[in-house]
Amino acid sequence: MNNKTTFLKRGAVSLLGVGALLGGLTATGAGATTPARAVHRLSGAPITIGGTLGLTGAFSEPSAEYRQVYQLWQHQVNARGGLLGRPVKITIMNDNSSPSTAATEYQTLISQDHVDFLLAPYTTYVGAPIVPIARAANKILFNGGFVGIQYFDQDKGWMVGSYTYQEPDYPKGVFKLIEAMPANKRPKKVAILAAQNPFTIVGEKGYNGVGGAINYAKQAHMQVVFDEEYPASTTDFTQVVQKAKASGAQVLIVLGLPDDSDLIAKTVKVIGWKPTIECMCGSQVTTLANWPSLGSATNGVLGTDVAWVTQKFPGLALLQRFANQRHETVIPNYDVTAYAILQMLQQSVEGTHSLNQAKIRAWLLSHKVQTAVGTFKLNANGTTPFNEIVTQTIGKKQEPVWPPSVATAKLVAPLP
Amino acid sequence: MPLPTASRWSRSGLLARRRVVERAGWASLVVVVGLLVAFGLTTGQLGTLRIATTALMYVVLTEAWSVLGGYGGYLNFGMAMFFGVGAYTTAIVAKEASIPPLETVVAAGVVAGLLAVAVGLPSLRLRGAYFAIVTFVLTLAVQQLVMVLGITNGSLGLYLQPLALSARAADQLYFFIFLGFALLVALGVRQIGRSRFGAALVAIREDEDAAEVLGVPTTRVKLIAFVVAAVLAGMVGCLYAAQLYYIEPVGTFQFSVSLNVVVAAIVGGAQSWVGPLLGASATQVLSQELLTHTQGVDGTLALGGLLVIFARFVPGGIAGFFRRRRGTKVSL
């Protein structure tokens, strides 16, 4: 299949990219020495970081992104002298995109490999069973892989995350953007399509009555004229998109995973629907490598992101170069959250000079961290303070249109 | 070289040989169980313990499946449906009645069994591929239902209360529960194979029309076998949910549960109680090893390859292969 081929090609390009970027890093003085020499200076047993990713199965593509960035960070840190003078070793096991396999592998990482730190897997439904496992082992779960406000609330700072908005807030930015439109141009009717997946359903309905597309629509005095949940494995959206169009909606909010969001964007184009606002508000699909390949189906479509390169947060420039080497213009969201969670880990270890989990948790909840998703102090439940960027694709270019402090372009709605 | 056949030995020699094989088989089983008990009691390697627990879980599921699938020759792709219904029954009953998940094991089996009656009555009148397709499609239908029902919390899934035990004690507990369960079910399936009920199933497999003419109540026999498999799958689902703490529709009803069971039965040999023991253990350990040591290889792909090899070259599975090699039946 085309997607598979593209994915394999991208994997090969990415491997070359990591190598080239590391070469570049050392040459530009990110480390004054070569990685090999720097590693030679490291002493002591490695600090071990372990986690799982769905390297095969339904989530193999996003998982591959995470792994590349983890490898990039590992090489970079070791080139700069390691952590506490010790080398760092990241072990990623393949959970086959399955929660029960992931649960087994985390027990292996904890009880057999005795890793010092745990990285969360990709996506909420694989990650949810891992939260109590990490907690039972008194390990902080460093989570750049999934959102899940209820799990953060339950875990009380034993899970720390790098996503800057949790699932109830996924569509928040778009509704704020709509509210900021002139009253005579503001759309009044909204259609919502949500994948049947834990995080997208909370994105649709909210959590404990707060957030979610339905609530945000009410707050913006908009009428939800169509609201449908679909199986994430759906491969033909013609009928559902036709129904959404027939509802008279002017705004289409899609809360999906990458593949289904792409398909919906294509379908909207194919059936000739031109809603005033069309947002792929789910898995930050507009930041992923496949997005430009959808061609004119992306024109005018909004998306959300955790950070934008113009914000100049630490690490974003490096990640932009990494993306460019893979012929991508936008940094994939997964790269940013993956890199940011390791920045948090690094800073907390260096801040405490310790591997003690309780000390590190206390440090993380009381100190500011400087990461690729911003400089901030974590919330008491381990989440990052809200920060969302809304982008719009016009032609082949994607630019932030909200919030005003980050926007480099004005919203175009409706398209001329 | 021609394989030896029963006719080449005298009757007394054959019986003596069977007794030796039988004793050796039982001795091997006792040794394996003893080793597993020692491993479960002493290991601190919780990952390996969980892999063993998963293998035992599939032993139960495959043994249960083999009653209709092996003895009866009916390809049932619905094990994931009963497994998932059992898991959800546990999560819902435990939450509503505020009782520990493990105490819902009977309820999980009963609900799965009732579903099997409802599904089996019409579908077991179908034969061959039609029955397999019905069980597959019904699994998807039940999964969709779970995704939209309020009581199941839709796609968000349900959390279960963890046991108030250390991680090690909890994992040991589930290991020993599955070990005991697997032994009981395996011995039960052995007894079924030796009973009139088992003979009726074999008759159905060999020629259903002839069996009916000879007075075998085929639909009733198939339904009982189907319900037995469903009850056991439901109970396994309960234990799975209790150990994982969290269930949701995609992971709980995933087709790979049904597929793994069928592959294990074909690899091990579906027409005896020994086959599922061997097949489930071998395929699960292989899958886990592939996932652990070869990060880019999809375990399903490897199992698919194994399935093709066994279906083509070793149609009786591992157990059938040894049976043919000896030229006599390995009877335990």
pLDDT band at B329 (very low <50, low <70, confident <90, very high): very low
Element (H, E) at B158: strand B158-159
Among the listed ranges A327-331, B57-61, B159-163, B214-218, which one has the minimum average pLDDT value? B159-163
Q: Which tens digits make up the pLDDT trace of A185-196?
A: 899 999 999 999
Higher-confidence position of B194 and B296: B194
Partner-chain contact A229 B155, CB within 8 Å: yes
Q: Which are the contacts of A115, defined by CB distance < 8 A and separation ≥ 6?
A: A48, A49, A50, A91, A109
pLDDT at A11 over 60: no
Partners of B308 in beta bridges? none
Sheet (strand A251-255) strand order: A223-230, A189-195, A251-255, A277-280, A302-305, A389-394, A397-402
Give the per-residue pLDDT at A39. Answer: 45
Nearest chain B Cα distance for residue A261, angstroms = 18
Q: Which domains does chain A have, with CATH numbers?
A: 2-165+311-377 (3.40.50.2300), 168-305+388-402 (3.40.50.2300)
A196, A234, A235: best to mutate for the B interface, most B CBs within 10 A: A196
Q: Using a CB-CB distance cutoff of 8 angstroms, which residues of chain B are in contact with residue A195?
A: 155
pLDDT at A396 over 90: no
Partner-chain contact B168 A103, CB within 8 Å: no
A90, A125, A149, A151: best to mutate for the B interface, most B CBs within 10 A: A125
Place of tokens 């995704």: B147
Instruction: Give CA–CA dist A116/A354, Å, rounded.
Output: 11
Query: Average pLDDT of chain B?
Result: 89
Burial of A176 per CB tally in 10 Å (0-12, 13-18, 19+): middle
Percent of chain A, pLDDT > 70?
90
pLDDT at A323 over 80: yes
Distance between terminal CA atoms of chain A? 35
Give the per-residue pLDDT at A301. Answer: 97
Instruction: Give CA–CA dist A349/A72, Å, rounded.
Output: 19
CB pairs under 8 A between A and B: 114
Q: Which tens digits make up the pLDDT trace of A42-85?
A: 788 999 999 999 988 888 888 999 999 999 999 999 999 999 99
Tell whether A21 lies on the interface with B, counting CB pairs under 8 A. no
Query: For A177-190, b where at least 16 C-beta lie within 10 A, e where not — what string?
Result: bbeeeeeeebbbbb
Nearest chain A Cα distance for residue B96, angstroms = 20
Domain boundaries, chain B: 21-326
Give the per-residue pLDDT at B326. Answer: 55
Higher-confidence position of A249 and B164: A249
Higher-confidence position of A396 and A86: A86
CB atoms within 10 A of CB A138: 12
Give the per-residue pLDDT at A74. Answer: 97
Tell me what ipTM this predicted complex has.
0.80
CB atoms within 10 A of CB A150: 19
pLDDT band at A109 (very low <50, low <70, confident <90, very high): very high
A71, A104, A229, A230: best to mutate for the B interface, most B CBs within 10 A: A104
Partner-chain contact B167 A98, CB within 8 Å: no
pLDDT at A33 over 60: no
pLDDT at A346 over 50: yes
Element (H, E) at B317: helix B317-326
Higher-confidence position of B256 and A165: A165
Highest mean pLDDT among A98-102, B15-19, B195-199: B195-199
Higher-confidence position of B12 and A8: B12
Q: Which are the contacts of B41, defined by CB distance < 8 A and separation ≥ 6?
A: B172
Query: For A28-44, b where at least 16 C-beta lie within 10 A, e where not — what string?
Result: eeebeeebeebeeebee
pTM beyond 0.80, yes or no: yes
Peptide bond into A332 cis (omega under 30): no
Place of tokens 């009044």: A188
Instruction: Give CA–CA dist A179/A181, Å, rounded.
Output: 5
Partner-chain contact B46 A107, CB within 8 Å: yes
Q: Which one, of A285, A104, A126, A283, lies nearest residue B250 by Cα?
A: A126
Tokens for A310? Answer: 């113009």
pLDDT at B43 over 80: yes
| Chain B residue at shortest CA distance from A98 | B251
Partner-chain contact B45 A137, CB within 8 Å: no
pLDDT band at A232 (very low <50, low <70, confident <90, very high): confident
Average pLDDT score over residue span B29-56: 93
Instruction: Give CA–CA dist B85/B102, Å, rounded.
Output: 15
Query: For B122-137, b where at least 16 C-beta lie within 10 A, e where not — what string?
Result: ebbeeeeeebbebbbe
Nearest to B246 among A96, A128, A201 (CB): A128
Element (H, E) at B59: helix B46-66
Structure letter (DSSP) for residue B328:
S
Nearest to B48 among A56, A95, A112 (CB): A112
B48, B50, B56, B155: best to mutate for the A interface, most A CBs within 10 A: B155
Percent of chain B, pLDDT > 90?
65
Nearest to B155 among A129, A137, A201 (CB): A201
Among the listed ranges A67-76, B262-271, B291-300, which one has the minimum average pLDDT value? B291-300
Average pLDDT score over residue span B85-114: 97
Average pLDDT score over residue span A259-278: 96
Q: Helices B218-244 and B167-194: crossing angle, nearest 10°? A: 170
Give the per-residue pLDDT at A7. Answer: 42
Nearest to B251 among A94, A98, A111 (CB): A98
